[in-house]
Amino acid sequence: MTMISRRLASALFLIAACAGAPWASAQNSYISKAAITSVVTTEQVRAELLAWAPDGVEPGKPVWLGLQLAHIPEWHTYWKNSGDSGLPTLLQWTLPAGVTAGEIAWPTPKKIPIGTLANYGYEGTVLLPVPLTVAPGFNAASLDVRLQASWLVCKKECIPQEGEFALKIPARSSTGSSSSLFAATFAASPQPLAGTGSRVEVSANTIKVSLSGLPAGIQGKTLEFFPETGSVIEPAGAWQQAWQGAVWTAQVPLSAQRTESPRVMPVVVALDKTAYRVEAPVKGDWPAVAAAATVPPALEAALKANAALGASPTGASAQPLTLIAALLGALLGGLILNLMPCVFPVLAIKVMSFAKEKSRAARLTGGLAYTAGVVLSFVALGTLLLVLRATGEQLGWGFHLQSPAVVAALAFLFTLIGLNLAGLFEFGSFLPGRVAGLQAKNPTLNAFLTGVLATAIASPCTAPFMGASLGYAVSLPAFQALAVFAAIGVGMALPYLAASAVPAVARALPRPGAWMVTFRQLMAFPMFATVAWLVWVLGQQSGIDGAGALLALLVVMALVLWSLTLKGRSRTIAATLSIALGAFSIWAIGQNVIKPVEPPAVASASGRWQAWEPGRVDQLTAQGQNVFVDFTAAWCVTCQYNKKTTLANAEVLADVDAKNVTLLRADWTRRDPAVTAALAQLGRNGVPVYVIYKSGRAPVVLSEILSVGDVRAELAKL
């Protein structure tokens, strides 16, 4: 039995026998133990932060940092242009004032064939060097560096990974232990050439690259070719090269999914370990591409059709999604959010308080406060999402529930509310007199906070019509994007706001009485049902140990609350023992709640559902295969409903078999930049998303709420 397993067994035994402490400190306790060092090791990659400052850290002197990635055999990460699939490694630095980091000086990649596709990346060991600029006046004794890095490592499957690194560099002495590694990297990196006379000539289906000024030592040799600009050529396409005297030329096919039309193309040509970089101006006009540069042309028809509210998207042409249509879709999606099972428990609280209130003015004030809480919370979440995406984070709607810590915190909160509704304790008994009085005297504040809570739990439930609006919103200017998020909030709060303003609704409500005590206790059970769902979600993220640890800590919290309701000396003894035992429980099993679960292996080809991975759809469609992709997450209630009903329907599965459709499932339960990027290509920013692919036609994006009839109708068209 492992040490963690022994701790888990001991903790569960003691919890069952006695009491404990709330989970509130579990996350901080775990984080404080997680040391941030210069080395992060996963099963596929050993990542190390290195530094080279031969003359110390001084203005005008060379100072380099570098992330070294050592891959196990057959695994690779990606260059700045990843090719047909993949994502480049991202580095986010935290440096002291007066020191700034430049861009990665990307080493020369290699072409990595993947089936019928090709990627550009690195195998073995690679160092990604980054130059630092030290401003005049920097006089600190040391240079403290922190790095947040994320990379996508792939074999046949792809695994997004990340790490936090820290390094202290003495400012007044040389750091030369890594000099040979940096020197070797610089020697193998592309050397810049003026390339006077070089150019790229554009035609309908190809580009002709002509490079002048290449060294005599490589003239007449066969060279490797890597364009720095992605989404222009077919990396795996057949191409020809030739020498015309001292000028190297290449005919390279344009990508059918081209999204870029650069006026200058930086390209790298390489021979063995020698490489050169030339910025070649583009001559001629690029063929037309989709209006939105970030959306591949093959997806344009599907995106336009998806803009039609509620219609099952097809490849037919339609008007592009406008801001007004996005606002209407967001408003309607917010209205439908009230029907989602993840929102109902919170609304039950408002229904109960609404029934108590007889004053029309007080009801209207509460309705306005609840609306303000919902709308401002949606705007705040939207702002956070836009800010993080602007800094390079690959995030989408519902991103907060991709964190096990947030899921556990919500489970803690809903358990607390459920125990309160069940009558185990009253909040007023634990609050100072002034705070309790403030709570009683300010029902408006309570209504506002209920709106905030409703938003937190509702946001992962992407209702119909919201998907296209959210995907469109992230491409808008900030003010217009936030207007879309605000429209979702208005739609969600509208029924309660209308009820609070219409006297007929108030007259229809039953009069207050003893029944409300029973109703209050009954409302505890939807809260506990929500907790059960959250524990299941966390189990998908942190495994069975994480779910078990969370359940144990929730029991500890309940026991602590119970001990605080006792009177006299028994309260002191019981509370002291339970809190002490709870501290032990957090130490023993708290880390299990937020630890990552081992990534699942890719499903075998014999299974009905296979794991989605970047480039997999292109591979299958190139072989003439029809593909159905389910973008899903454990915390998405709509996803689980569709999975258990329509996607498990015998008639649908029979049609899938008859049409030879490969079923792929893209799991977004935990943060996955590759899935986020795929959703963005589809113009979406949340799940569920269901897409049918067929070679030679535009992808078909289905409605978020699947019906057997709609799915069978689309399958019949294959």
The CA distance from 671 to 684, in Å, is 16
- Predicted pLDDT at 31: 27
- Predicted pLDDT at 354: 58
Min mean pLDDT across 182-186, 350-354, 556-560, 685-689 is at 350-354
Q: Which of 122, 156, 186 marks a domain boundary?
A: 186
| Cα–Cα–Cα angle for 82, 86, 90, rounded to 5 degrees | 80
Tens digits of residue pLDDT in 2-32: 444 434 444 443 333 333 333 333 333 222 2
Q: What's the pLDDT band for 275 if we cut at 50, 70, 90? A: very high
Residues 627, 515 share a domain: no
Strands 117-122 and 77-83: antiparallel
* 461, part of any domain: yes
Give 170's strand partners: 142
Q: Which of 161, 186, 211 marks a domain boundary?
A: 186
- Predicted pLDDT at 345: 55
Tokens 């810049």, residue located: 192
Query: For residue 242, what is the domain's CATH number?
Result: 2.60.40
- Does residue 208 carry a pLDDT above 90? yes
Q: Are 267 and 278 in contact (CB under 8 A)?
A: yes
Between 125 and 303, the higher pLDDT residue:
125
- Predicted pLDDT at 456: 65
The radius of gyration of the chain from alpha carbons, rounded to an integer in Å, stands at 29
- Predicted pLDDT at 47: 94
Query: For residue 124, what is the domain's CATH number?
Result: 2.60.40.1250
The CA distance from 495 to 431, in Å, is 33
* 314, part of any domain: no
Min mean pLDDT across 76-80, 182-186, 605-609 is at 605-609
Residues 128, 181 share a domain: yes
**What domain range is 694 assigned to?**
609-716
- Does residue 320 carry a pLDDT above 50? no
Residues 683, 642 share a domain: yes
* 32, part of any domain: no
- Does residue 637 carry a pLDDT above 70? no
- Does residue 639 carry a pLDDT above 50? yes
The CA distance from 134 to 56, in Å, is 11
- Predicted pLDDT at 198: 92
- Predicted pLDDT at 691: 93
Give 70's strand partners: 46, 125
- Does residue 402 carry a pLDDT above 70? no
- Predicted pLDDT at 288: 76
- Does residue 391 carry a pLDDT above 80? no
The per-type count for the chain, helices as H runs and strands as E runs, is 22, 24
Tens digits of residue pLDDT in 485-505: 788 888 888 877 777 777 666
Give 707's strand partners: none
Residues 560, 426 share a domain: yes
Tens digits of residue pLDDT in 170-202: 887 766 667 788 888 888 899 988 878 899 999
The CA–CA distances, whole Å, from 445 to 438, 449, 538 equal: 9, 6, 31
Residues 509, 366 share a domain: yes
- Cis omega (within 30 of 0) for bond into 129: no
Tens digits of residue pLDDT in 566-604: 888 888 888 888 888 878 877 877 777 777 655 444 333
Domains in the chain, number: 4
* 106, part of any domain: yes
Percent of the chain with pLDDT over 90: 19
- Predicted pLDDT at 459: 55
For residue 537 the two structure tokens come to 């979600």
Query: For residue 621, what is the domain's CATH number?
Result: 3.40.30.10
- Predicted pLDDT at 70: 93
Q: Which of 565, 594, 623 marks a domain boundary?
A: 594
Q: What string of H, E and C letters represents the secondary structure of 540-565?
A: HHHHHHHHHHHHHHHHHHHHHHHHHC
Tens digits of residue pLDDT in 489-545: 888 888 777 777 776 665 665 555 566 667 667 777 877 877 887 787 777 777 777
- Does residue 292 carry a pLDDT above 90? no
Exposure class string for 144-158: b at 16+ Cβ within 10 A, else e: ebebebbbbbbbebb
- Predicted pLDDT at 712: 92
Q: Are 299 and 683 in contact (CB under 8 A)?
A: yes
Residues 231, 115 share a domain: no
The CA–CA distances, whole Å, from 394 to 333, 390, 463, 677 equal: 24, 9, 22, 7
* 5, part of any domain: no
* 11, part of any domain: no
Question: Starting at the edge strand that comes first in sequence, how are the strands of the sheet with 689-693 ordered?
Answer: 609-611, 661-667, 626-632, 689-693, 700-701
Residues 494, 411 share a domain: yes
Helix, strand or coil for residue 230?
Answer: coil
For residue 536 the two structure tokens come to 């299941």
* 16, part of any domain: no
Residues 328, 466 share a domain: yes
Q: Mean pLDDT across the stretch 609-637?
A: 84
Q: Mean pLDDT across the stretch 446-463?
A: 65
Helix, strand or coil for residue 441?
Answer: helix
| Cα–Cα–Cα angle for 447, 551, 540, rounded to 5 degrees | 90
Q: Are 23 and 560 in contact (CB under 8 A)?
A: no
Residues 200, 177 share a domain: no
Residues 624, 526 share a domain: no
Mean pLDDT of the chain: 75
Residues 474, 613 share a domain: no
Helices within 159-234 (DSSP H only): 179-188
The CA–CA distances, whole Å, from 523 to 345, 420, 422 equal: 7, 10, 8
Verdict on whether the full-model pTM lies above 0.75: no
Residues 526, 625 share a domain: no
* 400, part of any domain: yes
